[in-house]
Amino acid sequence: MKQLSEGVEVLAGYPLAKSTKPAKASTPKAKLFFVCFSVFLWLTITALPAQANTRLVVSPQGPYTTIQAALADARDGDTIEVRGGTYRGPVVVEKAVTLEGVDWPVIDNGGEGTVVTLAAANAVLRGFELRGSGSEPDQDHSGIVISAPHVTAENNRLNDVLFGIFVAKAADAIVRGNEITSKPEFDVARKGDAIRLWYSPRTLVENNHVYSSRDLVIWYSTDVVIRGNTVERGRYGIHLMYCDGAQIERNRILDNSVGIYTMYSNNIALRENLIRGQRGPSGYALGFKDADNVEVSHNVLVDNRAAFYLDGMPFNPQGYGRVHENVIAFNDVGIIMLPAVRGNEFANNTFWENVAQVAVQGGGTLGNNKFQGNYWSDYTGFDANGDGLGDVPYRAEHFFEGLTDREPMLRMLIYSPAQQAIEFASSAFPIVRPKPKFSDPAPSIQPLPLPAFAANRQGNPGMMTLAALALLGLSGAFGVLAMNKANRTRMDADERGMNQKAIHVNAVTKRYGKVMALDAVSFEAQPGEALALWGPNGAGKTTLLKAILGLIDFQGDIHIQDCDVKRAPKLARRNIGYVPQEAVFYDLSVQATVDFYARLKKADRARAASLLARVGLGDHARKPVPALSGGLKQRLALA
């Protein structure tokens, strides 16, 4: 407002007469007029239509034929509906829009760069098939890059992309319901990560299916939730580093090299995960390195090299590790711990038929860790008062197990007469009895029930089917039964007759507490016949093999070439061989390995060349065993 001469003022560019007389009080009519005018003005403004969000349609027929053109015309809050067809990338979203695919439109970037970049807060991408990213790992070529907060990428299919979804410095993102696989031409180390979080706190990663990619990596991202995902046939199922407050629950981690590995993180919770078949060089289902305040509960860890690996958990004296109500079954080792690990509590877990229940890496005794109320399938105590707890402690004091802790390659002798002789000597002569690695003062008599989420989705996990398949096709870590043809041919065929049964199993039953592992199993195998045991994990295959080998007590009858396994187990084992899926050999050549076992078994070394030729290893005799493929190692084990 500017002051002008003669009492005139200008307000907002309009001259107004200025009175020097005192203002008169407003009349009732003026007040009524003012109120009516205000109401009229308010109704007029509110009656105007709000700016509506627009739906733009992209299709091969238009009105938009490219996603980029629709993005150029879109405003924040708009929806871009992209209908079926193939569209050229890259797509860069810098507005808060929703891209919604109908009938799975494809965005193909032709093998270059990143397919879609979501660089605007609150952007949404759903319903697309994304493919054809570049192949340069140092440039993070990806299917989707999220670089803004509160972005959602859900229900998309990503294939032929190096990295899947890369969330980079983007808080509160949602990655949900996507199917992700990497470039098929690369081996697993050269592939990119299916999902990678980098400095992205409070991100939700939920219900994704990841397969044949490298890792699912969560780095420097606090308070993330990883829930309901299936991760299979990769390297690391989930790899956490500096991720305080992470919650990992109800995931299925299958057939990777490592399951879930947690490093340098605090306040971690892992609940109701199924982790099965981690069989890489380490093969840990759950690994922990320098982690504090970790709770692991109600998980099922089955058929891994090791269910747990603990190194620095907890890391600080005031930290804790609580492991309770987990099923740990059919692993090579239940828990591997370093001697310095202490401060953990293992309570109410089920340790079922692991080759070694607990191992101390490098040997020795464990630090101050508490084992309480766990079920141990090899517990030989009793429960006289019926309170569900054993009346004598469970003690881990197997002498041979201590040897394998110090020298893992000795596991090749498990179930052998050498192992049995060592264990017998340690029990008969207290001077060589080892000091217990740990004890559980009140072990549970009954195992935990198998949770519903771990049940086989394609059948009843308690049933076992016998199928006429090749012996070497036996799945899992439960090994192969192979008839010893040399012993069989030494039999007097005329005396025993042509109808003699090589293996006769009749009504074999085995219980572990209330759990029925074998329920009246019966079958026969004729000489020269191939027979396999086929069934899901926990069906009883290992238990049946141990019964046939005479290593456990059972009800029923088993005869190996008319030799009663119950009465003469050693004699029966002379006529049968056992080859584990993961056979362990020393670092020798193929020829030297066969010679070594020939001397060990007092067999004719002159037969080595013919045996190698018979199993197809004649041309590999001079090769070192580590240079053989897995299949050739199995052939060597048969020889």
> For residue range 297-326, what is the model confidence (pLDDT) as tens digits?
999 999 999 999 999 999 999 999 999 999
CATH number attached to the domain at 458-579:
3.40.50
Contact 239, 267 (CB under 8 A): no
Range from 77-86, 185-194, 320-329, 533-542 carrying the lowest mean pLDDT = 533-542
What DSSP assignment string belongs to 173-203? -EEES-EE---TTS-TTTSPPSEEEES-TT-
Q: How far apart are CA 398 and CA 424, in angstroms?
A: 10
Q: How far apart are CA 350 and CA 363, in angstroms?
A: 24
Q: In this structure, what token pair is assigned to residue 126?
A: 């759903």
Helix orientation angle between 630-638 and 590-601, rounded to the nearest 10 degrees: 30
Burial 469-508 (b: 16+ CB within 10 A, else e): eebbebbbbbbbbebbeeebeeeeeeeeeeeebbbbbeeb
Range from 124-128, 161-165, 405-409 carrying the lowest mean pLDDT = 405-409
Q: How far apart are CA 367 and CA 614, in angstroms?
A: 50
Q: How far apart are CA 153 and CA 144, in angstroms?
A: 8
Residue with more model confidence, 554 or 111: 111
pLDDT of residue 99: 98
Give which of 76, 131, 135, 67 is closest to 100, Cα–Cα: 67
Contact 260, 248 (CB under 8 A): yes
pLDDT at 432 over 60: no
pLDDT of residue 26: 53
* Residue 632 pLDDT level (bands cut at 50, 70, 90): confident
pLDDT at 291 over 70: yes
Give which of 90, 89, 133 is closest to 111, Cα–Cα: 133
> For residue range 141-180, what is the model confidence (pLDDT) as tens digits?
999 999 999 999 999 999 999 999 999 999 999 999 999 9
> For residue range 359-370, what is the model confidence (pLDDT) as tens digits?
887 665 677 899
pLDDT of residue 381: 85
Q: What is the DSSP letter of 162?
A: S
E strand or H helix at 293: strand 292-297
pLDDT of residue 497: 38
The 10 Å Cβ neighbour count of residue 275 is 29
* Residue 461 pLDDT level (bands cut at 50, 70, 90): very low
pLDDT of residue 30: 63
pLDDT of residue 267: 97
pLDDT at 410 over 80: no
* Residue 476 pLDDT level (bands cut at 50, 70, 90): very low
CATH of the domain spanning 54-212, picked from 3.90.1580.10, 2.160.20.10, 1.10.1740.110, 1.10.12.10? 2.160.20.10
Give which of 639, 603, 602 is closest to 621, Cα–Cα: 639
> Per DSSP, what are the bridge partners of residue 258?
236
pLDDT at 257 over 50: yes
> For residue range 132-143, what is the model confidence (pLDDT) as tens digits?
999 999 999 999
* Residue 433 pLDDT level (bands cut at 50, 70, 90): low
pTM > 0.75: no
Q: In this structure, what token pair is assigned to residue 629?
A: 């493929």
pLDDT of residue 585: 61
pLDDT at 414 over 50: yes
Give which of 408, 547, 539, 567 is closest to 481, Cα–Cα: 547
pLDDT at 635 over 80: no
E strand or H helix at 487: helix 485-489
Q: How far apart are CA 479 and CA 577, in angstroms?
A: 10
Q: Identify whether 569 is preceded by a cis peptide bond (ω within 30 of 0).
A: no
pLDDT > 70 in the chain, percent: 75
pLDDT at 428 over 70: no
What DSSP assignment string belongs to 372-420? ES-EETT-----TT-SSB-SS-EE---HHHHHHHH-GGGGGGTTSHHHH
The 10 Å Cβ neighbour count of residue 227 is 19
Contact 497, 556 (CB under 8 A): no
Contact 582, 636 (CB under 8 A): no
Q: In this structure, what token pair is assigned to residue 124?
A: 């949404």
* Mean per-residue pLDDT, 580-607: 71
Residue type for 329, please?
A: A
Residue with more model confidence, 32 or 341: 341
Query: HSE (CB half, 13 Å, CA atoms) of 455?
Result: 12
Q: State how beta strands 439-440 and 394-395 pair.
A: antiparallel
Q: What is the mean pLDDT of the chain?
A: 81
**Percent of residues in the chain assigned helix, strand, coil, to nearest 5:** 20, 35, 45
Contact 284, 239 (CB under 8 A): no
The SS3 of residue 357 is strand
* Residue 560 pLDDT level (bands cut at 50, 70, 90): confident
Burial-class residue 405 by CB neighbours within 10 Å (0-12, 13-18, 19+).
buried
Q: How far apart are CA 162 and CA 184, in angstroms?
A: 9
pLDDT of residue 149: 97
pLDDT of residue 362: 67
CA Rg value for the chain? 35
Range from 201-210, 286-295, 411-420 carrying the lowest mean pLDDT = 411-420
pLDDT of residue 525: 84
Query: HSE (CB half, 13 Å, CA atoms) of 618?
Result: 8
* Mean per-residue pLDDT, 571-588: 68
Residue with more model confidence, 432 or 391: 391
pLDDT > 90 in the chain, percent: 47
pLDDT of residue 25: 47
Q: How far apart are CA 460 and CA 539, in angstroms?
A: 9
pLDDT of residue 7: 38
* Mean per-residue pLDDT, 6-10: 38
Residue with more model confidence, 11 or 262: 262
Give which of 217, 322, 318 is closest to 263, Cα–Cα: 217
Residue type for 328, please?
A: I
> For residue range 90-116, what is the model confidence (pLDDT) as tens digits?
999 999 999 999 999 999 999 999 999
Contact 142, 133 (CB under 8 A): yes
Query: HSE (CB half, 13 Å, CA atoms) of 34?
Result: 6
pLDDT at 534 over 70: yes
User: Locate tokens 């871009």: which residue?
Assistant: 80
